[in-house]
Amino acid sequence: MAAEGQAPSAGEYIVHHLQHLQNHKQTAVVDFSVVNLDSMFWAITIGVIGCWLLWRAARSATSGVPGRFQAAVEILVEIVDTQAKGIVHNAASRKLVAPLALTVFVWIFLMNAMDLLPVDLLPAIWHVAGPAIGAKDYMRVVPTADLSVTMGLSLSVLLVCLAYNVKIKGVGGWAHELVSAPFGTSKNPIAALILGVVNLAMQLIEFVAKTVSHGMRLFGNMYAGELIFMLIALLGGAFTLSASGFALALLHVVAGSAWAIFHILIITLQAFVFMMLTLVYIGQAHDSH
């Protein structure tokens, strides 16, 4: 490949494909002025498509014999509703939480499903279209393979949890829980103070760990999946008119199919895990210790 001069090396190919289309280059590890335009665009587009699909199903729903599409959406709603009933034991909260979980599931599933498109399809289109409208030639199409998107999602879940903590337990009740759980409190004022500090520290660690692992899990799975698709694409890129070249191209087809089939499981599973943990965390906000 390197002999052609024009074609990028394997490392260059991967690095180029891992670069976001940004408003300006990221210099620090945390820089809130950087906007990943590609992730934003695809996340919002896919969110609108997901909402439109569900809206269409709800609009054309009949009480008679449902069509295939309506039956599929009904099954989906029922799955999420059963899980919500099992985890959040508060009928008033479920009016908001169950639709939230459904939205999270559908949105993340569709964003993950962008991974199943051929890895070079949209970047190749952007390779022609992007520079033509004066943009840089970078495009990443899987929004959930962007840490900013997944951490944004998990932070939103954290905010919902905090809101429910205050709503269900009241400010005083929640503040009491923050200093008295998980180790309890004591009648002795000095022991109560020490326990309070330890309890508060444990609670804060729990909130941070929950949120970080929630976002990192989804990101890690999708990022690794995307990277493996790129490596498989490199096998096909090594195609030449020789025995080993043919073998590599054949391996590309076999490995690509196998990984894509396995990835159908992963994208569904990760969307489901994210939805379930959203419900579990919100459910925890309803339980008093």
Which residues are annotated as catalytic? 213, 217, 221
Return the residues of window 64-123 that contact other proteins according to CB under 8 A: 83
What is the smallest separation between the CB atom of 211 and other proteins, expressed in angstroms? 15
225 binds other proteins (CB under 8 A): yes
* Residue 14 or 175 having the CB closest to other proteins: 14
What burial class does residue 205 get, using C-beta atoms within 10 Å of its C-beta: 0-12 exposed, 13-18 middle, 19+ buried? exposed
- Which of 12/287 has CB closer to other proteins? 12
Tokens for 264, please give them: 């159908």
Of residues 9 through 68, those in contact with other proteins by CB under 8 A are: 10-11, 14-15, 18
Element (H, E) at 217: helix 189-237
154 near other proteins, rule: CB under 8 A: no
Conformation bin of residue 134: beta by default, left when phi > 0, alpha when psi is -120 to 50:
left
Q: Which of 227, 233, 238, 260 binds other proteins (CB under 8 A)?
A: 227
Q: Which residues, at least 6 apart from 21, have a Cβ–Cβ distance to it below 8 Å?
A: 36, 37, 38, 130, 135, 136, 138, 139, 140
Structural tokens at position 205: 């660690």
> Which of 41, 239, 259, 272 is in the footprint of other proteins by CB under 8 A?
272
Check residue 217 for interaction with other proteins (CB under 8 A).
Answer: yes
Q: Does 204 bind other proteins (CB under 8 A)?
A: no
Does 259 bind other proteins (CB under 8 A)? Our answer is no
Query: Which residue, 199 or 270, is less far from other proteins as judged by CB?
Result: 270
Listed ranges 60-68, 169-177, 249-257, 264-272: which one lies at the site for other proteins (CB under 8 A): 264-272
- Residue 29: both structure tokens together: 């590890």
Judged by CB under 8 A, the stretch of 167-175, 182-190, 202-210, 213-221 that binds other proteins is 213-221
Which residue's CB is nearer to other proteins, number 174 or number 272? 272
Q: How many residues bind other proteins (CB under 8 A)?
A: 25
CA dist 232 and 131 (Å) reads 27
CA–CA distances in Å: residue 136 to residues 15, 27, 125, 165, 204: 15, 17, 13, 45, 41
Backbone angles phi, psi at 20, to 5 degrees: -80, 155
Q: How many CB atoms lie within 10 A of CB 3?
A: 5
Of 88, 111, 71, which Cα lies nearest the Cα of 279? 88
| One residue of 148, 154, 221, 278 binding other proteins per CB under 8 A | 221
Residues at the contact surface with other proteins, assessed by CB under 8 A: 10-11, 14-15, 18, 83, 216-217, 219-221, 223-225, 227-228, 230-231, 234, 266, 269-270, 272-273, 276
